[in-house]
Structure 1
Amino acid sequence: MSSLSGKVVLITGGANGIGADVARRLHSKGANLVLTDLDKGLLDELAAKLGGDRVLTVVADVRDLAAMQAAVAVGVERFGGIDVVMANAGIATTGSVLGVDPAAFKTLIDVNVMGVFHTVRAALPSVIERRGYVLIVSSAAAYAAAAGMVPYDTSKAGVEHFANALRMEVAHRGVAVGSAHMLWIDTPMVREGKADSEAFREMLRRLPGPLGKTTSIDKCGEIFVAGIENRKRQINCPRFVGLLRWLKPVLSSRLGESLTMKHVPELLPMMDAEAVALGRSVSARTEALEK
């Protein structure tokens, strides 16, 4: 029997991508699920596929603390408490500091950083009561910066440190805290980035070795669930991403930055021009959910 059987897991951004794949895997291991997202249609579709009475879906915006508190309250009422919280909801933007829409930058910080705080703040009392586990979904971007990704890199470095600080606050209360760090996963966000941007596709092509390769959602979900079961401090996908954590001082040095900076004068103007042509700094799906 899985260690997650009978446990209650709250996942934000649970309607598709990594969140949905992890939800399916946890459900198969006997977990009870509280899934939140802005996309009611995808939430309903996932709940129908999973079936049974162990799935509760709540349309909630992670930018709204009251909404997340209400989602947690409904989950606690339904299942008795929250054992695991996976703060997964996140978005990306396109464009340089001079090119990105300032409103899009703010939206990203509100979702990727404030959304993590609201999710954890709402769920933490129950997680503490159950001596549970908190997983903050960061990124390999917390280990290595990239031109054209300043908003995303800023947010993911921030929530990694959030996880590190939170761990020290709650360890004595029996709560474990982990952060997840992915490179390029075949999520809707990455697929949309490839579809929208030739500069993005070219950047991936020019990255050295495996750094430009895309990993399947299926493989990522497998690694995530193993990490959740073992209450890991870091979950890295692909697993070699863990090496980037130790190489972080080198990657932020002149030597490390030289690996990608030679392409910036060509690719960054392309990226900004593409955002202007599209008329948006976020994906079409994110823009649609904002309306």
Structure 2
Amino acid sequence: MEIRTRTRPLRGRTVVVTGAARGLGAALSRALDERGARVALLGLERPQLEEVAASLRHEARCWETDVTDDAAMAATAQQVRAQLGPASAVVANAGVAEGGPFADSDPAVWRRVIEVNLIGSAATARSFLPDLFATQGYYLQITSLAAMGTSPLMSAYCASKSGAESFAHALRAEVAHQGVAVGIAYLNWIDTDMVRDADRHAVLRELRAHMPPPARRVRPADQVAERLATAVERRSAAVYVPAWLRAVQLARPFLPPLVTHIARTELPRLERSEPFGPTGLLGAGGQAAVGRPGGDHDR
């Protein structure tokens, strides 16, 4: 039976969430649990994963695993299947970010962002697609406004989220005839460790301050998680949080030249007041990924 045909479609179903140790991933795990799902929490930080799992009311398990490690992810998928049952939904939420001028970026850190956000999403999908084929399930790819627009000093994050969006579109076309639905979540600023850490850097904080008032607002992770859990229930093709992001799709061709126009004036001004350099991986989740081939984050 497809998950969309039930009155409470997630009750008793296994849902996988990557990057579940903190932030949005942890909040989404709680929201899915409230809807009766059995949640498989994947991430790098075992103590935090266990704490989240222990807070859930329904059966839940956690796995410390690197989303960029294909063999580890395949083994984790087998264990999830054996302990919780085949996945009916998978949310590719794991992600990291770093800021700073591309010319000064550490190649290894820049590459890490691409590996986790893009390659990690592909490894997640590849590992759990057999389950989704069996359950005619749902895959939700977490992206952001960065997939639709662009931002100076966030080149790796923008590239990875744009790539993840394109990957999800391609995957949707490949698996639709097999009953698997693929959704894309477009999110803006969320109150997570990653965003709070970014705000410690004056130039990143100022760049956000130059966005229109609705676009600079930071939303609670629990509020965003509720919207995402509803999207999983409905097998939504797209979910926008906040809802006005849907209108940004129409403006996509105009965003890069607009951002370039603003950056041409603002970046020199900001650099005069406080020189900026590479931030490294942002937030506690990013720090958990330092020195490892991949990692999880709250988005």
Letter aligned with residue 217 of structure 2: K
Per-residue deviation, 1:284: 5.5
Matching of residues 92-241 of structure 1 within 5 Å: 92-195=97-200, 197-241=201-245
Asked if the contact 1:93–1:149 (Cα under 8 Å) also holds between the matched residues in 2, the reply is: yes
**2:68 aligned with 1:63, yes or no?**
yes
Native 8 Å contact 1:95 1:268 kept in 2: no
Q: Secondary structure at the match of 1:247?
A: helix
Of 19, 24, 27, 2:33 maps to 27
Give the 3 Å change call, closer, same or farther, for CA 271–190 of structure 1 in structure 2. farther
Name the CA shift for 1:290/1:82 in 2 (closer, same or farther; >3 Å): same
- Number of aligned residues: 284
SS in 2 for 1:263: helix
Residues in 1 aligned to 2:273 and 2:111: alpha-carbon distance in whole angstroms: 23
One of 83, 91, 101 as aligned partner of 2:88: 83
Matching residue of 2:11: 5
Which of 33, 41, 44 is matched with 1:38 structurally? 44
Say what the alpha-carbon RMSD is for the aligned residues.
1.8
Alignment of 1:270-281 (within 5 A): 273-275=276-278, 281=280
Higher deviation after alignment, 70-79 or 155-164: 70-79
Alignment deviations for residues 149-185 of structure 1 (CA, whole Å, 9 cap, x no partner): 1100000000100000000000000111011111111
SS of 1:186's partner is coil
TM-score (norm 1): 0.92
Gaps of 5+ in 1: none
Do the aligned residues in 1 keep the contact of 2:142 with 2:185 (CA within 8 Å)?
yes
Please say if residues 37 and 58 of structure 1, whose CA atoms lie closer than 8 Å, have aligned partners that are also in contact: yes
Query: Greater relative contact order (Cα 8 A, min sep 6): structure 1 or 2?
Result: 2
Contact 1:127 1:175 in 2 (8 A): yes
Give 1:206 shift. 1.7
Letter in 2 for 1:290: V
For the residue of structure 1 that corresponds to 2:87, the secondary structure is: coil
Q: How high is the TM-score relative to the length of structure 2? A: 0.90
Q: Kindly state the Cα deviation for residue 269 of structure 1 after the two structures are TM-superposed.
A: 7.4
Taking the aligned partners of 2:238 and 2:180, their CA distance within structure 1 comes to: 15
Mark the runs of 5 or more structure 2 residues left unpaired by the alignment. Answer: 1-6, 292-299
Displacement of 1:80 after TM fit?
A: 2.2
**SS, match of residue 244 in structure 1:** helix
Residue equivalent to 1:283: 282
Residue in 1 aligned with 2:297? none
Q: SS of 2:103's equivalent?
A: coil
Q: Which amino acid aligns with 2:168?
A: A
